[in-house]
Amino acid sequence: MSKDKEKRRIDQLRKLLQHYNHQYYNLSISEVSDFEYDNLLKELIDLELKNPDYSDSSSASVSVGGDSNVEFEKEAHSFPMLSLDNTYSKEELFDFESRNKKLLPEDYQYICELKYDGASISLKYENGILIRALTRGDGTTGDNVTANVKTIKSIPLKLKGTDYPDNFEIRGEIFIPHEGFNEMNRIREENGEPEFANPRNTASGSLKTLNTSIVASRPLDCFLYYIISKNLPSNSHYENMQLAREWGFNVPSIIQKCKDINEVIKFIEYWDIERLNLPYDIDGIVIKIDNLKQQQKLGMTAKSPRWATSFKFKADQVKTKLLSIDYQVGRTGAITPVANLEPVLLAGTTVKRASLHNSDQINLFDIRVNDFVYVEKGGEIIPKIVGVDKDLRTEDSKAVEYIKSCPECGTELVRDEGEAKHYCPNDTGCPPQIKGRIEHFISRKAMNIGAAEATVEALVDKGLIHDIGDLYFLTKEDLLSLERFAEKSASNLIESIEKSKEVPFHKVLFALGIRYVGETVAKTIASELKTIENIKNASLEELIEINEIGERIAASIIDYFKSEIHLKIIDKLKISGVQFEINVDNEQESENKLNNQTFVISGTFEKHSRDELKELIVKYGGKNTGSISAKTNYLLAGENIGPSKLEKVRKLNIPIISEDEFLKMIE
């Protein structure tokens, strides 16, 4: 690149980054992913280094950005609020290490912390009383949001004990935990209000809301990670933070001392995976030199300290073009719109498709074909679309016309009241529903029949089976007529089908694939009503009387048995010898050993897989849930259990049991 071209590019990058900063800090909008932003910033820094004569103190490479809002009073920070250097590459961490080694001939220690993804805040305490809370602003001055911050329960207004410095600032991140965020969105959805896109933008938006009572209603929380004062009690960052916890601050317990960068990398690698199990968002790891004297020695650049750096996990949100929409028909006939996207790199993988959930979601975001959409990868496998960049909308954008009939069988779709999804009602004639039902029926947790998806597909396509009942009338010859089936594989499958006749009734009930009747519900109904005849003849009222069976489930069961086709299938299964009543001998005694207690499973186990443990819990009358709450009775803990889970159970005083202890309970 010629010098002129380089300078033009510098101008362009400065403008672009300034625009993104304004959008991010003032309007809480992320137009680009962090990854893209950081790449642009890196490019700018490199070019500026090559062109020192073209420096500018207001360049995005020097100033921190800005989150100032006109309506709030601006105040100067007592100490500038710097940002952190960041990297996505482990090589650069070794560079960080070499620089430290060069500048610090003596021993030093790193402290690793999670990089919380929210809005940063600086709290000022005088004589143990919170007197001011400032947003980062441009790093020198910030917005005074004290009234809003005072509504956050985990921020102490008055400190405990007496051994805190008279005067200090403590900094941290205001964020919204997933549970609160989802609940807030659920309520908004119920009230017909637009849902929030993600916890980070909602946290920073909330902080800058002028109505304090609205702020108070938001589930904001705050982690503190950095304390500054002229008279701190210890020379170690780690020690000071532990003391701050005793004064009443919410100091994260996930913090680790590391002796070298290899230990740091282990911490990073662990959390790169485990972060998906955290109850809040993090976007990386922060690495700090522990000793404050050494921190001083290393000093800082205009923008960030040299004694700390951050490793950022790959971007979680990107923007790309929506090319078209496909409609998938699920096992139960539920229609899911799926977006075809211009391929884009997201969190290390190329994304071409993303779920759009349902027609409401499309309308809510006003998503149109050819729009640029934000795609996010959460805990789910399929990424989802979380918003639209309307500024980039062009004339060729086309409003979505949601389909009216099933793309597989042409039947007119229905949408039940209160349901978000459209359904194809042709459950016995729609090919994906037929195949899906059979796949569900034979699955391990249901009848446990060993046939591959491709086998089911071939059997249906060849017309050898039309429903789950037909499986029991298959002959070896039928199977041998399929491609890739030999004598051995054919007899294995026949044997497996034969064996499924011993599968207990509650699993058969689950295997039928009645809408809303999952494993636990099937188990409850089977043990309550004992036989398929009783279930078939039960009234809505009788079903609702059963513990944990609501109207929705009851109505679905009644509906299922109204269908002549379903009754014929059940007859076929009955004739074949499938279990349609509970075996009192086997089941009753084991039934209630766990006495309805709730378990959460975490970690890896020696003797059983997690799925097997879940099955055992249900089999012995317990309940299995995914997340820890006050209702949890036990945490069944294996190896490598996430510290966040441990922290939560300790807080709630929930007993932790090992695999062996659990097996004893059901012995």
Residues classed as catalytic: 115
Contact (Cβ atoms closer than 8 angstroms) between residue 411 and residue 335: no
Q: How far apart are CA 81 and CA 83, in angstroms?
A: 7
Q: In angstroms, give the least distance from the CB of 280 to ligand IVH.
A: 11
Contact status: 139 vs ligand IVH (CB under 6 A): no
484-491: long-range contacts (C-beta < 8 A, 24 or more apart)? 485/455
**What is the amino acid identity at position 488?**
K
User: What's the gap between Cα 440 and its chain centre?
Assistant: 26
Q: In angstroms, give the least distance from the CB of 286 to ligand IVH.
A: 4
Nearer to ligand IVH, 139 or 337 (CB): 139
Contacting residues for 102 by C-beta, under 8 A, at least 6 apart: none
Q: How far apart are CA 334 and CA 573, in angstroms?
A: 26
**DSSP symbol at 462:** T
Contact status: 657 vs ligand IVH (CB under 6 A): no
CA dist list (Å): 618 to 544, 548, 555: 21, 14, 24
Q: Which residues, 75 to 94, sit near ligand IVH by CB under 6 A?
A: 82-84
Nearer to ligand IVH, 84 or 656 (CB): 84
Q: CA torsion 629→630→633→639, rounded to 10°?
A: 40
Contact status: 17 vs ligand IVH (CB under 6 A): no
Task: Tell me the per-residue interface mask from 366 to 405 with ligand IVH, x by CB under 6 A, - otherwise.
Answer: ----------------------------------------
| Site stretch for ligand IVH (CB under 6 A), options 113-121, 229-237, 511-519, 621-629 | 113-121
| 97 three-class SS | helix
Q: State which residue has the least CB distance to ligand IVH.
A: 120
The count of other CB atoms within 10 Å of the CB of residue 246 is: 13
Contact status: 569 vs ligand IVH (CB under 6 A): no
Q: What SS3 string covers 619-635? A: HCCCEEECCCCCCCCEE
Nearer to ligand IVH, 82 or 318 (CB): 82
Contact (Cβ atoms closer than 8 angstroms) between residue 532 and residue 570: yes
| 350 three-class SS | strand
Host H or E run for residue 126:
strand 119-126
User: Taking Cα atoms as reference points, which of 224, 191, 245 lies closest to residue 113?
Assistant: 224
Largest CA distance in the chain: 89
Nearer to ligand IVH, 174 or 346 (CB): 174
Q: In angstroms, give the least distance from the CB of 116 to ligand IVH.
A: 4
Q: In angstroms, give the least distance from the CB of 37 to ligand IVH.
A: 12
Q: In angstroms, give the least distance from the CB of 26 to ligand IVH.
A: 16
Nearer to ligand IVH, 113 or 143 (CB): 113
Tokens linked to 201: 């933008």
Q: How far apart are CA 103 and CA 294, in angstroms?
A: 9
Q: In angstroms, give the least distance from the CB of 103 to ligand IVH.
A: 17
**What is the amino acid identity at position 16?**
L
Q: In angstroms, give the least distance from the CB of 304 to ligand IVH.
A: 7
| Site stretch for ligand IVH (CB under 6 A), options 44-52, 111-119, 157-165, 233-241 | 111-119
- For ligand IVH (CB under 6 A), the number of binding residues is 13
Nearer to ligand IVH, 297 or 357 (CB): 297
Q: Which residues, 180 to 219, sit near ligand IVH by CB under 6 A?
A: none
Q: Which of 286, 356, 569, 582 is in the footprint of ligand IVH by CB under 6 A?
A: 286
CB-based burial label for 603 (10 Å; 0-12, 13-18, 19+) = middle
Nearer to ligand IVH, 99 or 499 (CB): 99
Nearer to ligand IVH, 67 or 519 (CB): 67
Nearer to ligand IVH, 243 or 517 (CB): 243
Contact status: 225 vs ligand IVH (CB under 6 A): yes
Q: How far apart are CA 440 and CA 446, in angstroms?
A: 7
Contact status: 115 vs ligand IVH (CB under 6 A): yes
The counts of H helices and E strands in the chain are 26, 22
Q: How far apart are CA 451 and CA 524, in angstroms?
A: 28
Q: Which string of b and e fits 527-561 if b means at least 16 CB within 10 Å?
A: bbbbebeebbebeeeebeebeebeeebbbbbeebe
Q: Which of 305, 513, 622, 642 is in the footprint of ligand IVH by CB under 6 A?
A: 305
Q: In angstroms, give the least distance from the CB of 135 to ligand IVH.
A: 10
Please name the residue that has the structure tokens 């997340």. 627
Q: In angstroms, give the least distance from the CB of 311 to ligand IVH.
A: 12
Enumerate the H helices of 191-248 as residue ranges. 199-207, 212-217, 237-246
Q: Which of 108, 168, 175, 226 is in the footprint of ligand IVH by CB under 6 A?
A: 226
| Site stretch for ligand IVH (CB under 6 A), options 34-42, 114-122, 576-584, 637-645 | 114-122
Radius of gyration of the chain (CA): 30
Nearer to ligand IVH, 60 or 538 (CB): 60
Nearer to ligand IVH, 115 or 368 (CB): 115
The count of other CB atoms within 10 Å of the CB of residue 525 is: 26
CB-based burial label for 259 (10 Å; 0-12, 13-18, 19+) = exposed
Q: In angstroms, give the least distance from the CB of 66 to ligand IVH.
A: 13
Q: Which of 31, 143, 169, 173 is in the footprint of ligand IVH by CB under 6 A?
A: 173
* Residue 53: strand pairing partners: none
Contact status: 113 vs ligand IVH (CB under 6 A): yes
Q: In angstroms, give the least distance from the CB of 49 to ligand IVH.
A: 20
| Site stretch for ligand IVH (CB under 6 A), options 88-96, 115-123, 434-442, 492-500 | 115-123
Q: Which of 33, 120, 204, 358 is in the footprint of ligand IVH by CB under 6 A?
A: 120
Contact (Cβ atoms closer than 8 angstroms) between residue 625 and residue 649: no
Interface ranges with ligand IVH (CB under 6 A) = 82-84, 113, 115-116, 120, 173, 225-226, 286, 305, 308
